[in-house]
Amino acid sequence: MHNDEYYLNRAVELAARNVAEGGRPFGAVLVKNDQVQVEAVNSIHLSQDPTAHAEMLAIRSASQQLGARLDGCVIYASGQPCPMCLSAMYLCGISRVVYAASNEQGEPFGLSTAAIYRQMALPLGDQALPVQHLGRPAMVGIYRDWQARQVQQARDTGCE
């Protein structure tokens, strides 16, 4: 934790450089065992991919190196992670997140995701985006097949 300032300052430097190059003010540094694994910046302006947030790109790149589980990794981000990025961090096992600018600080600049957080806190049926569940019985069989394959794979690799 003594290096939090160093890595967070690096994420802020990446954000400043990205703005100077025409991008959005977001940078991220992914660290494991006090070693930088990946640095990334928001690249929506280049790719037109709305998921190309700095944190998402860092996770994608680190996963290519370290595998889908990123346990023990810390992400340092210039801005408060949006719900998409935070969800991805949970899904891949990121151990800790440290960020520089809060949603409140970003709000006057149109750089806050607080409204999305508020929507996601509502019950699914109360959210502004209509989400419809149309169940399919076949999915249970597909899930069972997946689970059986996972068990078999664990046996085959001796990871039971």
> Could you give the residue numbers annotated as active site?
55
DSSP string, 55-86: HHHHHHHHHHHH-S--TTEEEEEEEPPPHHHH
* Strand stretches in 44-152, DSSP E: 73-79, 96-101
- Residue in 18, 37, 36 with CA at minimum distance from that of residue 111: 18
Q: Which residues pair with 97 in a beta bridge?
A: 75
Q: Which residues pair with 98 in a beta bridge?
A: 76
Beta strand 27-32 pairing with 35-41:
antiparallel
DSSP 125: G
Task: Give me the phi and psi of 51, to 5 degrees please.
Answer: -95, 5
Residue with tokens 């992400």: 75
